[in-house]
Chain A
Amino acid sequence: MSDAHAYPHEPTGVETRKLGFWIFLSTEILFFGTLITTFLIFKGRDFPGIKLTDVYDIPFTSVSSFVLLMSSLTMVLAHNALETNDQEKTRVWLLATAMLGAVFLAGQIYEFTEFYHKGFELSTNIFSSTFYVLTGFHGLHVFIGVVLLLALWGVGQRQRGLSLNEGMNLEFIALYWHFVDIVWIVLFTVVYLI
């Protein structure tokens, strides 16, 4: 995403790449919005068969949700460290964020396998289909985020520091990461708590 054109005049006052990224995130809202709407429509349907409420384990998911929320904190710390040009700390917090994201993903994989063994499979019924596609789509986003974080961490590790341009990338990844986090807060509420 390093396509900003050397054009000094930016009438909106927002850096071009950042503006493009915000528009991308606004589209993401529609992606998740459609999925959540579908989930809610089917959630109220009266259809026989196993339901999420028969298999889920709220305390477990609460813990993994907490882990993901904490990763937002470490992301902020990484960004903060970069602002004060503390390169070492930036890398530490980047890696911490990636690790917390990976822990969340591991939790999701464990949860999916558990559900599967309890007979709650992707094609069992409409409740399982919507659950897996919705949370799986979010998990894919977390996975991409972890890959991006690790890539940035790797670059920083190799060069012993991030340049100004790469710092901009950190900002994008942070925006993305917080977005994915906020989506999870909505998902956790909608899928598990309501």
Chain B
Amino acid sequence: MTKIIEPKKQRNIFSRPSSETGIWSWITTVDHKRIGIMYGYAAFFFLLVGGLEALLLRIQLSQPDNNFLSAAEYNAMFTMHGTTMIFLAIMPISAAFFNYLLPLQIGARDVAFPRLNALSFWIFIAGGLFLYSTFLFGTAGAPEGGYLDEEVSRLASAPNGGWFGYQPNAGLKYSPGTAMDYWAIGLQILGIASLVSAFNFITTILNMRTKGMRLMRMPVFTWMTFAVSFLLAFSLPIIAIALFFVTFDRQFGTTFFLTEGGGDPVLWQHLFWLFGHPEVYILILPAFGIVSEVLPTFSRKPLFGYPAIVFAGFGIAFIGFGVWAHHMFASAISPVAQAGFGLSTMIIAVPTGVKIFNWLGTIWGGKLTLNTPMLFALGFIGMFVIGGLSGVTHSVVPADTQQTDTYYIVAHFHYVLFGGALFGIFSGLYFWFPKVWGRMYNETMGKIHFWLMLIGFNVTFGPMHWLGLQGQVRRTWVYAEETNLGFWNLIVTIGAFILAVAILVFMANWIYSRRKGEKAPFDPWDARTIEWSIPSPTPVWNFSKAPEIKSLDDFWHQKYGEDEDGRAVRREGTDELLLKLEEEGLNPDEEIHLPSPSYFPLILAFGLPFLGYAIIYKSVPLALVGVILLLIGGFGWGTEPLEEEFETSEENPDAKESSTYE
């Protein structure tokens, strides 16, 4: 599958051979753009599943003493809702953005390790399928004397110990059956996917930058990818080991987290939140990056305080490792630890505040274009500030012990993760839609989506603050009529259905615009970063020749100069420049070598779930299948060259210099 492109043959690229289209070309692809798109669709699918689970929860809670879900089903649904949204929706949707945009923003042709990239994606898919196969094969038995005396439905045969899996509740004694094993091993597999992509992105950012792309000229989204990758690389090993312990406790009779054998349930909380709090920033920093691209573009101003935003991002990432115990104020930790973690929680609000002021400074006095991505970015700021403010109140320990495990906390983290992360993600989805598909989305439908979502979001999660302060407890499937919680719960449920309608509008817009949308010019937003200096949709080879970067916001400075008052003035010849860029972008005049597709990442990835089943069912044949798949994948990978029939320049670095990428 060689893609050595001769100068005269580039037209062949457009009517590509059949092996480069169709389903197998996607399954075997190592192209970062296609992997990004697949990440996006898979994550959106899981977002819908997680959303459906949330709707079931809300129907159950819509009125007092409701019987829509059983207690067991309710437990399974809130556990799967949390796990799905965090590990299968928001994280991979961020990975979709990283994959698609990162190489484009630093002027590279692909990521550092294209096949590892495909491996990450397939491990994510394998892990997601493994986790969800619990609905088919898993069992959630009844703890002795527990509530589960009636027959357990399939809907309840899922992990039911919460996404945080607190011990000993998630241990074998109180969560018998295999469902929590699916959870522990499923997260383990998903963690491998994120770890591999973290290595890949860190290496890509450090080593694949084009000429002149110094660190302090990188777009903020790239910086945030960098920070998130470090967070992943240093927090996932902790949860991996903790999940090992859980699996050992459940499968091999150890007692890491069980007091019977001298173990310690609080140790689980420490290990979990030592991962879990950086995880919060893993979810939100990509959205920070996205709005930092969107706001300057539609304010027609440079980002206010670029270095401050970059360093604040790393400040958040760094301090994020030192605040974990604020999730545990209600556990047995000492008053000194409570004071310390309360303080560090207040401190981490500072770099976050710096960012908010930078964004406000960016739009201040700008010429705002209020289209859909911009609206979502502005909505993001508003909603995130609400969530951030209610969050920082939790650093006050006495207040936190009142609010912990109530709906106040639920309201708080949905304001940061839904109002924050997801609004940022939608902003990015609209913003880069023309770049990815070469068509424009429908602006009217986009705006309807935004307003429905903003209203639905606040109707859903706003009243949860009051419910929480009135004392409604999290994770309880039913509340009594006398508590007078019925009215606001009904409002919340109505809000959840408004959100569902908003998502339907978004999907309709997406499907319609993908096919019938107006053709997009390659720089529809008059944007600032170099991914807009290439044709839309992005050609397979990204840049027909390596761009040379001379400043921050390089593409903008190619288009605009300054008059004596410092106002941006469009340079003469910008129109010609754009025409020239498009012409050049579509017609590379040199050989381009792209990595060839490969089956082996897929094979390797699907070995892992078999090993998972083998542990749960103590089955040697399943283990053998897993090991054989891993061996085939690993051996094939090791012996297959990255690029077919292309002599790498490694043997004689000088000979190829003139004809390779630079």
Binding site for B on A (CB under 8 A): 1-12, 14, 16-17, 19-20, 23-24, 26-28, 30-31, 33-35, 38, 41-42, 45, 47, 49, 122-127, 129-130, 133, 151, 164-165
Contacts and interface: CB of A to CB of B under 8 A. Distances in A.
Contact of A123 (B115, B195, B252, B648): B252
B434 to A, nearest CB: 27
Contact of B233 (A5, A27, A35): A27
A35 B207 contact: no
A2 B641 contact: yes
Contacts of A35: 241
Contacts of B642: 2-5
B208 A30 contact: no
Given A3-B642, A123-B253, A126-B262, A164 B651 contact: yes
Given A6-B648, A9-B662, A20 B200 contact: yes
A2 B650 CA distance: 12
A100 to B, nearest CB: 24
B306 interface: no
Contacts of B657: 8
B317 interface: no
B209 interface: yes
B303 interface: no
B662 A8 contact: yes
Contact of A30 (B113, B114, B199, B238): B238
A38 B241 contact: yes
B245 A133 contact: yes
Nearest to B202: A23
A41 B229 CA distance: 29
Interface stretch (B61-69, B263-271, B443-451): B263-271
Given A5-B114, A9-B662, A129-B254, A34 B237 contact: yes
Nearest to A10: B207
A31 B255 contact: no
Secondary structure type dominating chain B contacts: loop
B261 A7 contact: no
Contacts of B245: 38, 133
Contact of A27 (B115, B209, B211, B234): B234
Chain A, interface SS category: helix
B210 interface: yes
A19 B204 CA distance: 10
B643 interface: yes
Interface of B: 108-116, 195, 198-200, 202-203, 206-211, 213, 233-234, 236-238, 240-242, 244-245, 248, 252-256, 261-264, 267, 271, 546, 593, 595, 638, 641-643, 646, 648-651, 653, 656-657, 660-662
B203 A23 contact: yes
6 closest Cβ pairs, A-B complex: A47-B262, A123-B253, A126-B262, A30-B237, A3-B113, A129-B254
A12 B112 CA distance: 13
Given A4-B112, A6-B649, A129 B241 contact: no
A45 B383 CA distance: 46
Give the most central of B114, B199, B206, B254: most A CB within 10 Å: B254
A34 B256 CA distance: 13
A179 B256 CA distance: 27
Contact of A3 (B115, B262, B267): B115
Contact of B208 (A5, A24, A26, A129): A5
Given A5-B595, A6-B643, A133-B244, A125 B262 contact: yes
A125 B254 CA distance: 7
B203 A11 contact: no
7 contacts: A2-B642, A5-B109, A23-B202, A27-B236, A34-B238, A123-B252, A129-B256
A17 B113 CA distance: 8
Contacts of B238: 30, 34
A165 B254 contact: no
B645 to A, nearest CB: 13
A2 B636 CA distance: 12
Given A27-B237, A31-B240, A126-B261, A8 B112 contact: no
A122 B254 CA distance: 7
Given A7-B207, A49-B262, 19 more contacts: A1-B638, A3-B113, A4-B642, A5-B114, A5-B642, A8-B653, A8-B657, A9-B661, A16-B203, A20-B200, A23-B198, A23-B233, A27-B237, A30-B238, A34-B242, A42-B263, A123-B255, A125-B261, A129-B263
